Structure 1
Amino acid sequence: MTSAYLVWLLFIAAYDFRQRRVPNWLVLAGAFLALAALALGTGPIERDWAASMLGAGLGFGFLLLFYAFGVMGAGDVKFAGALGLWVGVPALLPVWIIGTLLASLHAALWLILQRWPVSPRLSLVLFGPPSATDGPAPSRVRFIPYAAYLALAAAVWMVWGRQGS
C-alpha cells in the first residue's frame, strides 16, 4: 500500500499544481485506500484506528477554520482529512509544518515576482496562466497549491520516517 499512497500523493500534487484544485474523486479514492490499508495493516506509516480517525478529524477540522475565513480552498481541507487517515496524528504536525513552509516560500516568491517580474515563464509555471478579464472576476485567487505542498511534505515525511526504522 505504500506505493498506492505515494501514487495518490503524486496525483494530488500534480493536479493541484496544474489546476489549482483537488477533485473530490481523488480525495475519496485516497480516503478509501487509507481505510483499506488501515484494515489490512499495510499502511506506509504504522498507526492504529484511533490515531487515523483523530488525524482525519484534526486535518479536516483545523483547515476548515481557514476555509471559513476564505483563505483556503475546500479541496485543501478535504485532502487534509484524507491525509490524516493515512498518517495519523503523530505525523500530521510535521507534515503541516513542512507543507506550510513550502507554501510560504511559494507565496514569498509570488510576492517578489509581482514586484520585480524577472521571468514570465517562471511566473506561468508557479502561478498558472493569468485569468481572463472577459468574465466576472473570481471571488478569490488561488495561487498557492497548498494540497500539493502537503502531499510533497507527506511523501518526504514518509521517507524520513522509514529511514529511522
Structure 2
Amino acid sequence: MALACLLWLVFAIVYDLRERRVPNWLVVSGAALALVALALTAQPFDIGWAEAGWGAAAGFCFLLPFYATNLMGAGDVKFAGVLGLWVGLSALLPIWVIASLLAGAHALLWQTLKQWPFFPRLVVMLAGPKHASDSGASPRRLRIIPYAAYLAVASAAWMVWGRQS
C-alpha cells in the first residue's frame, strides 16, 4: 500500500501544480485507499485507526480557518484531512513544517521575481494558470501557492527519509 499512497501523492503534486486545485475525486480516492490500507493492516506509516482518525481530524481542522479567511482553497483543506488519515497525527507536524517552508519559499520567490522581473516566465509559472490567464479574476479564485502539492512532496519525503531516524 506504500506504492498506492506514493502514487496518490504524485497525482496530487502534478494536479495541484498544474491546476492550483485538488479535485474531489482525488480526495475521495485517497481517503478510500487509506481506509483500505487501515482495514488490511497494510498501512505504510504503521499506524492504527485511532492515530489515523486523530491525524485526519487535525489535518482538516488545522487548515479550516485558512479556508474560512479565504487564504486557502477547500481542496487543500480536504487534502490535508485525508493526508492525516494516511500519516497519522505524529507525522503530521513535521510534514506541515516542511510543506510550510516550501510554500513560504514559493511565495518569497514569486514576490521577489514580481518586483524584479528577471525571469518573467518563472513568475507566470509560480503564479499558476488561473493568475496567468485571468487578469480580472476575483481574489477568491486566485491561488498562487499549491499547498496540497507541497504537503504531498513533504509526505513523500517523510515516507522515504523521515521514518529512518
Q: TM-score, normalised by structure 2?
A: 0.94
Counterparts of 1:68-79 in structure 2, within 5 Å, are 68-79=68-79
- Taking only aligned residues, the RMSD between alpha carbons, in angstroms, comes to 1.2
Report how far residue 60 of structure 1 moved: 0.4
Once the two structures are superposed, what CA deviation does each residue of 1:37-91 show, in whole Å capped at 9, x if it has no partner? 0111111111110000010001001100111111010000000000000000110
Higher mean C-alpha displacement, 152-161 vs 74-83: 152-161
Instruction: Give the corresponding residue for 1:45.
Output: 45
Q: TM-score, normalised by structure 1?
A: 0.94
State the AA in 1 paired with 2:133.
Answer: S
Counterparts of 1:22-41 in structure 2, within 5 Å, are 22-41=22-41
Q: Residue 159 in 1 paired to residue 160 in 2?
A: yes
Instruction: Give the corresponding residue for 2:4.
Output: 4
Counterparts of 1:1-165 in structure 2, within 5 Å, are 1-129=1-129, 130-133=132-135, 137-140=137-140, 141-164=142-165
**How many residues are aligned here?**
162
Among the aligned pairs, what percent are the same residue? 60
Report how far residue 24 of structure 1 moved: 0.3
Unaligned 5+ residue runs, structure 2? none
Unaligned 5+ residue runs, structure 1? none
Higher mean C-alpha displacement, 139-148 vs 88-97: 139-148
Report how far residue 122 of structure 1 moved: 1.5
State the AA in 1 paired with 2:46.
Answer: E
Moved over 4 A (4+): none
C-alpha distance in 2, partners of 1:36/1:96?
Answer: 24
C-alpha distance in 2, partners of 1:68/1:15?
Answer: 23
